[in-house]
Amino acid sequence: MKNIDMEALEGLSHSPLKNYILAGLESHLVGATTRLFRNTRASTGIITPHSHRFDFQCLVLQGAVTNTLFIETGLGDDYQVTETKYLGSPGKYETMKTRRCMYLPESTRYVEGDWYGMTAEEIHSISFSRDAVVLFIEGEQIIDTSLYIEPHVNGETIPTMKTEPWMFAK
């Protein structure tokens, strides 16, 4: 992206986490509430649809991302909604199943130079192109819990939300 000194921005980054939910997705803090995400592989996994405890804005610095919002409707697919409380470090949560709802996915692709954002109440999943770089600017925490949704099919919830030992490596 023009006028962004990527080397300087990367020089400001610290506290790296490797395999941030997806194999090859790296997260580095830039300051206290800004992250620099870099994807080093073609995305093969899916991030379980989830919300955040804060509003955020993102700038795609390189490559592309596809952000899929899950809109709660009376139509669509059946999902189990689970509330999570963050316990202070990535991958550490307290969870409670709350209800089932119908959601329709709505995807938008963003490329270099595009901004996108979400409110804390919105539920999304995201995928990254190989070599995507995204600046993620987090607002203040405005709620104590976030949500994730898992497919409910043939009378059972399919457990897609997992924290694996390879995730969040320092």
Whichever domain contains 50, its CATH number is: 2.60.120.10
> What is the model's pLDDT at position 44?
67
Residue 139 in any domain: the answer is yes
Query: Is position 95 within any domain?
Result: yes
Helix intervals (H) in the chain = 6-12
Per-residue b/e over 122-138, b at no fewer than 16 CB within 10 Å?
A: bbbbbbbbeebbbbbbb
Residue 46 vs residues 126, 146, 160: alpha-carbon distances, Å: 8, 18, 9
Q: Is residue 50 part of a domain?
A: yes
Reported as a pLDDT band with limits 50, 70 and 90, residue 2 is low
Is 28 within a domain? yes
Q: Which domain holds residue 95?
A: 6-157
What's the pLDDT tens digit per position in 55-89?
999 999 999 999 999 999 888 999 999 999 988 77
Q: How confident is the model at residue 27 (pLDDT cuts 50, 70, 90)?
A: confident
Greatest mean pLDDT among 1-5, 21-25, 76-80 lies in: 76-80
Q: Is residue 23 part of a domain?
A: yes
Q: Are strands 145-153 and 77-86 parallel, antiparallel or unpaired?
A: antiparallel
Q: For 132-145, what is the mean pLDDT?
A: 95
pLDDT in tens, 92-128: 789 899 999 999 999 999 999 999 999 999 999 999 9
Q: Is the pLDDT of residue 25 over 60?
A: yes
On whether residue 168 sits in a domain, the answer given is: no
Count of domains forming the chain:
1
Residue 164 within any structural domain of the chain: no
Mean pLDDT over the full length of the chain: 89
